[in-house]
Amino acid sequence: MSGLIKRERWGSKIGVILAVAGSAVGLGNFLRFPVQAAQNGGGAFLIPYFISLVLLGIPLMLTEWTLGRYGGMHGYGTAPSIFAVATRNHFLKYFGVIGVLGPTIIFIWYTYVESWLLGFAIHALFGRLMEAAQDGSTMKAFLEGYQGIVSNSWFGGIGQTYIIFLFTFAINFWVIFHGVKGGIEKFSKIAMPVLFILGLIMMIRVITLGAPNPAHPDWNVSNGFGYLWNPDFSRLKDVKVWMAAAGQVFFTLSTGIGMILTYASYLDREDDVALSSMTSVSINEFVEVILAGSIIIPAAFVFMGPAGLVEIAEGGGFNLGFVTMPQIFTKISAGWLFAFIWFFMLFIAGATSSVSMLQPAVAFVDDEFKLGRKKAVIIIAVFCFIACNGVIIGLSHGVLDELDFWSGTFSLVVLATIEAIIFSWVFGIDRAWKEIHHGADIQLPWSFRIVLKYVTPTFLLILLGVWTYQLAIPTFKMVGVQPENKIWVLGTRLGLVAVIITMIILVYWAWRGRPLPDIDIETDEENML
């Protein structure tokens, strides 16, 4: 065997768990989950949601934690190299390009949205947000003015927005510059507890909203929770509900994107990946189902009613988070304070995710080209800054939506499918099972072998096929894209293709003439015992 390679390590078990949980906990927990639940029958949505968590979410988390630790043991921390070393196949490393490029592209648009949250939190403190939130149309105008889509009486341009974006961008790179232990882990140990506290404050406030509107006595908090937790079993006959639930589980855990692979590569050989992955899943589900599920849906139910809740959800997560919630805050005492808490909480959730998106690219440049972390961070910062400005300029022309779909939706399913097949079929289920339990304090049920080898890959192939037919093909054909925006969308796609080709060349260059490490599989397995 090549020997265990010395790399940067996490400082503590709780640190890595909070960091991985932070990478998963993001805007999708607080905005996408309530929307999906409201659109798909409330309680009926949760049944396939938890089934998908067991058959899809947990197996993928185990896969990424285990493959990541295995790659780190041999000195590799990104998907291309981990795939190569785990499979002993040079060709498969090119599939790992998604695991470096995907999170970087997501960061490019995600960090701009993240900066809006900080901006809205600031405006909530100074009362301007509450002034705009008195009316739905006014609130939409406020949002569009802040984004720079239109120039109105609220905002004459995006100068203020851009300054806040620069600050948000700088925070992310300041954290990543200080490394895994000194930057990401320290940040997660502060940010995650703060997020939990703010989430609990919001949940308690919603639970104590008080007497319902006399005109609608059934619009109350209790019925709001009932909408989420009481299933309408007839909705389970709808395939779309099952697909939506599987999709939400997939997104919420940040699997299939390469971040957890990289995070896990900084584990020690004896670190427990089985218990740690389960713990990070549990933290994410607590935030999503308990905290997020106890805020938006009950609050919207109280003030908008069941029909209004569904109608609002049809408008998507952005509309719900940025337009509807501020209007709800105007109806409660000290609304400005809770508006600030809401948006600042979302900003923290966004930041813990966006920081993790940078690490795979930084690790790739650092590990493969030996430039050092400082130079790697500078290179990635320059690329991201240029690309972020492209998103800002093209926001009103669909550039953000285009990047969101290909990097934040479709590529995740592709990479997760590849990971599941590599782990259970190429790496091998016997080696995979031993590797999962090496250093583990828990023993997984034997039935999970069947899930890992057969159920999860099949589930993912079905998901990939359905999404290709329902989403990817129409998106590729630019269905629904305004004629004046097609040139922007086409330009975005050409840019993505150019970046993908460049990334493939970089992977080839990094590995040119380099043999795979001399790994004795039998010795490897002895080290697992």
Q: pLDDT tens digits for 369-406?
A: 999 999 999 999 999 999 999 999 999 999 999 999 99
Query: Cα angle at 61 between 476 and 72, to 5 degrees?
Result: 100
Query: Cα angle at 125 between 122 and 128, to 5 degrees?
Result: 85
pTM, rounded to two decimals? 0.93
| Cβ atoms of residues 103 and 343 within 8 Å | no
- C-alpha 274/C-alpha 450 separation (Å) is 16
Picking from 323, 318, 324, 322, the residue whose alpha carbon sits closest to that of residue 297 is 324
- C-alpha 264/C-alpha 251 separation (Å) is 19
HEC string for 496-528: HHHHHHHHHHHHHHHHCCCCCCCCCHHHHHHHH
Is residue 242 classed as helix, strand or coil in its secondary structure? helix
Burial class (CB in 10 A: 0-12, 13-18, 19+), 73: buried
Band of pLDDT at residue 318, cut at 50, 70 and 90: confident
Q: Which residue type, as a one-letter code, is found at position 421?
A: I
Q: What percent of the chain has pLDDT above 70?
A: 96
**pLDDT for residue 520:** 54
Picking from 500, 204, 177, 210, the residue whose alpha carbon sits closest to that of residue 359 is 177
DSSP at 8: -
Picking from 472, 99, 87, the residue whose alpha carbon sits closest to that of residue 259 is 99
Q: pLDDT tens digits for 272-283?
A: 999 999 999 999
What is the average per-residue pLDDT within 190-200? 96
Lowest-confidence segment of 57-61, 152-156, 158-162, 458-462 by average pLDDT:
152-156
**pLDDT for residue 216:** 82
- C-alpha 206/C-alpha 224 separation (Å) is 10
Q: pLDDT tens digits for 437-455?
A: 999 989 999 999 999 999 9
Band of pLDDT at residue 67, cut at 50, 70 and 90: very high
Q: pLDDT tens digits for 88-123?
A: 888 999 999 999 999 999 999 999 999 999 999 999
Burial class (CB in 10 A: 0-12, 13-18, 19+), 521: exposed
- C-alpha 278/C-alpha 11 separation (Å) is 20
Spell out the domains of the chain, with CATH numbers in brackets: 13-528 (1.20.1740)
- C-alpha 89/C-alpha 77 separation (Å) is 17
Question: Hey, what are 313's tokens?
Answer: 């959800």
HEC string for 366-433: HHHHCCCHHHHHHHHHHHHHHHHHHHHHCHHHCHHHHHHHHHHHHHHHHHHHHHHHHHHHHCCHHHHH
Question: Hey, what are 294's tokens?
Answer: 């106890």
Question: Hey, what are 94's tokens?
Answer: 């090119």
Band of pLDDT at residue 529, cut at 50, 70 and 90: very low
**pLDDT for residue 250:** 83
Burial 97-133 (b: 16+ CB within 10 A, else e): bbbbbbbbbbbbbbbbbbbbbbbbbbbbeeeebbebb
Q: pLDDT tens digits for 27-44?
A: 889 989 988 988 888 889
Q: pLDDT tens digits for 503-527?
A: 999 999 999 877 776 665 554 554 4
**pLDDT for residue 279:** 93
DSSP sequence for 476-501: HTTTT--GGGHHHHHHHHHHHHHHHH
**pLDDT for residue 2:** 44
| Cβ atoms of residues 71 and 368 within 8 Å | no
- C-alpha 44/C-alpha 301 separation (Å) is 17
- C-alpha 85/C-alpha 67 separation (Å) is 10
Sequence-distant (6+) residues with CB within 8 A of 484 are 397
Q: pLDDT tens digits for 233-288?
A: 888 988 889 988 988 998 888 888 999 999 999 999 899 999 999 999 999 999 99
At 206, give phi and psi (nearest 5°): -70, -45
Q: pLDDT tens digits for 346-362?
A: 999 999 999 999 999 99
Q: Give the CA distances from residue 262 to residues 24, 158, 167, 209, 476, in Å, rounded to whole numbers and listed in that order.
A: 14, 35, 26, 43, 30
What is the average per-residue pLDDT within 47-58? 95
| Cβ atoms of residues 185 and 10 within 8 Å | yes
